Chains A and B, each alone.
Chain A
Amino acid sequence: MKKSPVFLAILMIALVALPGFSQAKIKVLFMPGVTDPFYFTMEKGIRAAAAKAGVDLTVAEYPKAWGPEYQIPILQAAVARQKPDLLLIAPTSTDALKAPLKAIYDGGTEIITVDTFLGDGDYSKPSDYSFPLSYIGSDNELGGKQMAEHLAKLVGETGKVFCEATNPDTSSVQGRVKGFTAGVAEYPNMTLVGVEWCLDVQQKAQEQTLAALQKNKDIVGIFGTNVFSAQGAYQAVVNAGLTGAVKICSWDATKDLIGALKKGQVDLVLAQKPGEMGSLAVDWGVKYLKDKKNVKVPKKVIPGFEFFTRDNVDDPSMQQFIYQ
C-alpha cells in the first residue's frame, strides 16, 4: 500500500527523534477555548503570573471556533512539540476532552482546567475525570441565578424572557442556563419562553433571537450567556427596532458589550475575572510542582464576579474588570 514506505521512513526518523530532554525551568502550556476577549484577558493574567514565578510559558494557538474537534488537534500538536509540566486548559467539551487529557496526564503532565470543567466539575470524588489538579472558574450557576434576579428587577418582575445560550456540552454554559432557569422560576409572573443554542456563532444567535422575537411579540428580557450570544441577541433587538422595549443582560464584559451598555443597547453586563483565574491557576500549579508532597491544591477555586449597570459603568474602580 502506498502509505507504508512513508510510514516506515517516519518510523526510522522517530527512533532517532523520540527521547526528549528535561530542563530546569518549569514548562507551562496554556490552551484557551476560543478566540475571545475573555481568554485574551486570561492570557494576560497567566503571563504576569508566569513572569513572576519564573516559568516557561507557551500559549497554544487560539481555536477559531469552539469545539473539541478544533481544540484537541491543536492541543495534541502543542504537547507533541514540547511536553509541558503544567497544562492550563479550558476544555471545550465536558466529555470529549476526558480521554485526550487523561493520556496527557498519564504522560506526567499536571492539569488545571480553567473556566470550564470536565464531567460535572467535581474532581474531589474519584472518577474518570478526577485527575486534574483543580477547576478554577466562576460559579456559573450562581451567576445565572443572580442574572435572573437582576433582570427581574429591570423588567418589573413580570413578563416573558428568553435565553440565548451557546454550547450544550460546555460546563460553564450549562451552569448559567440552569441557574437562570431556577432564578426565573422564583418569580411567578415571569416565564422563560425558550432557550436556544447558537453554538458560539454570533449570527446564529441573531437569527434565533429574531425568530423568538417574532414568535413571542411580548418578550421583555433576554439573557445572552456569553459574548457571542449576547452580542447576537442585541443585534437582533436592534434589527427588530425594539431597542428600549427589550432588556438585555449579558455575560462577559468585553469592550463591545460595555460600549453597548453605555449606549443603552444592553442593560446589564456580568464581568467574570479571567485574569484572576489565570494567575491563580499558575500560582497553584507552580506551588504544587515545586513541592508535591506538602502542597494540597483545592479541587475548586472560585473567583467572584461583578455586575456592570448603566449606573456604575463609569466608576473608576470598575474599569479593571473590563476584558482587555
Chain B
Amino acid sequence: MADTASSTAAPVPSPLVRAAARNWSALFLILLFVAFGFAAPNFLSIQNIQSVVHLQTVPFLLAASETFVIITGGIDLSIGFVMGLCSVSAAEIVQLLAAKGLSGGTAVALASIAVLLLSLLPGLVNGVVITRFKVPPFIATLGMWGMANGLALKLCDGFPVAGLPDFLPRLGNGYLFYALPGNFVSLFDKPAGFPDARIRELWRLIPFSLPFIVAVLGFLAFRLSRTPFGRHTYAIGGSMDAAVRSGIDVDRHLVKVYVLSSFLAGVGGVFNVFQTGIGNYTTFNASYEFFAIAAVVIGGASLSGGKGRIFGSAVGVLVLAFLENGLDISGVQPFYRYIAVGVLLVVAVVIDKLFPDLL
C-alpha cells in the first residue's frame, strides 16, 4: 500500500525535539520510575529492580533476536515457541543423560550445547522458506510457530519437564554478592548455616544473569552497528533493491539473520531452564513474541525496516517490564499492561511517521 506523498511539508524540528523523539521510550521509562516511585514504596527498592531485570533476561534475548529480523523488514513470529521448544528439549536431554549415569554438570553442559546447535534449525528453515520459496516472513514464521509448538508439546505432553539437577536454579538465580548490611559480604551464595528465619534481612546484589545479558546485548549491539554484518542488515531493510545493486548477497544474509534469531531464542530457552529449574513449553497465551515485537517497535524500530537499535529494544523491554511491575506493586490490575502496550505501539508508529528519517 504505497503511501502517497503527504502534501504537508513537515517543518524541520529542532535537534532537541529530534533527540527527544528518538529516545522517547527512554524518557518514558524515566517517567515510569518517577511515577511508580511515588505511587508504591516498594518499587524503587534494589531488590525489586534487580528482580525485574533478572526476570527479563529471556525477553531481552527475544527482543534482540526480533530486532535483527525487523530491521531487515521481516518479522519472526516463531521465537516464543522456539524458545519453549528449546527449553523442553534441553530439559529432556539432561534427563536422558543423567539417566545414563552422566554427572549433573556434564549432562547440563552437553544438553546446552546440543540444544544451541539444534536451535539453528528453525531459523534455517525459516530463512530458506522465505528466501528460496518467497513465502512472506509472516506466513513462514507463523508456520514455524505451529510446528515448534507442536514439537514441544509432543516432547513434553503438556507437562513441564522436571527432575533436573538442583544446582540449575541455584545457578540461574544466583547473585554475585550476598550481604547483611553492617555485617558481612559473601560471594555467590549465602553463608552456610545462615538461619532461615533471617533470610529476608539478606541483601542480594547483582544477579549472575546481569553480566550475562549485558555481555550478550553488548556484543549484538556491536555487531549491528560496527560490522559489515550489521551494515548489510540495515541496507536490506532500507531498500532491498539498493542492497542487491550494491553487491550484497541478500538471500544469504537473510538466512543468517533468521538463523541468528532462532539461535537467540534457543539461548533464551536454555537460560529458561536455568532460571526455572524445569523445562517449560510455551503456552498459547504467553505472547512472548507479542511483547518482543512490541518492545522492538517501542524502542524505535520500524516494521518496514531500516531502523532499530539493540539499545532501543532493550529500553522497550524495560518499559514493558517496569510498567507491569509498577502496576502490580501499586495494586492496579496487571491486565492494564496489555492495553498499555497496545497504546504504546500505536504511539511508536505515529512518532515513526512524524519523524521518518530518525535512525
Contacts and interface: CB of A to CB of B under 8 A. Distances in A.
Determine direct contact between A and B, CB below 8 Å.
yes
A238 B328 contact: no
B158 A64 contact: yes
B275 A239 contact: yes
A214 B157 contact: no
B204 interface: yes
Given A214-B51, A235-B169, A240-B51, A64 B197 contact: no
A245 B160 contact: no
B173 A35 contact: no
Contact of B169 (A228, A238, A255): A238
Given A34-B158, A35-B157, A202-B280, A239 B173 contact: yes
Interface stretch (A82-90, A122-130, A204-212, A282-290): A204-212
A310 B158 CA distance: 29
Nearest to B172: A239
B84 to A, nearest CB: 10
A218 B197 CA distance: 12
B32 interface: no
A211 B328 contact: yes
B157 A235 contact: no
Interface size class of A (residues with CB under 8 A): 20 to 34
Given A203-B286, A210-B55, A214-B42, A239 B158 contact: no
Interface size class of B (residues with CB under 8 A): 20 to 34
B328 A215 contact: yes
Interface string B166-205: 1001000101000000000000000000001101101010
Nearest to A227: B159
Contact of A259 (B159, B163, B200, B286): B163
Contact of B200 (A36, A217, A235, A256): A217
Nearest to A234: B277
B321 interface: no
Given A211-B334, A214-B42, A239 B169 contact: yes
Nearest to B325: A214
B213 interface: no
Contacts of A259: 163
A238 B277 contact: yes
Given A34-B158, A214-B328, A214-B329, A203 B200 contact: no
A231 B162 contact: yes
B162 A35 contact: no
A242 interface: yes
Interface in B317-354: 325, 328-329, 331, 334
Nearest to B284: A65
Contacts of A255: 163
B61 interface: no
A201 interface: yes
Contact of B158 (A35, A215, A217, A241): A35
B23 interface: no
A54 interface: no
Nearest to B153: A64
Contacts of B277: 235, 238
Interface string B269-303: 00000011110100100100000000000000000
6 contacts: A63-B158, A65-B158, A215-B328, A218-B200, A235-B276, A239-B173
Interface of B: 42, 48, 51, 55, 153, 157-160, 162-163, 166, 169, 173, 175, 196-197, 199-200, 202, 204, 275-278, 280, 283, 286, 325, 328-329, 331, 334
* Complex A-B, nearest 9 residue pairs according to Cβ-Cβ distance, in ascending order: A64-B158, A244-B196, A245-B199, A256-B162, A35-B157, A35-B158, A202-B160, A211-B328, A35-B159
Given A217-B42, A241-B175, 19 more contacts: A35-B157, A202-B160, A203-B276, A210-B55, A211-B328, A214-B328, A214-B329, A215-B328, A215-B329, A235-B276, A238-B169, A239-B173, A239-B275, A239-B276, A241-B202, A242-B199, A244-B199, A245-B196, A259-B163
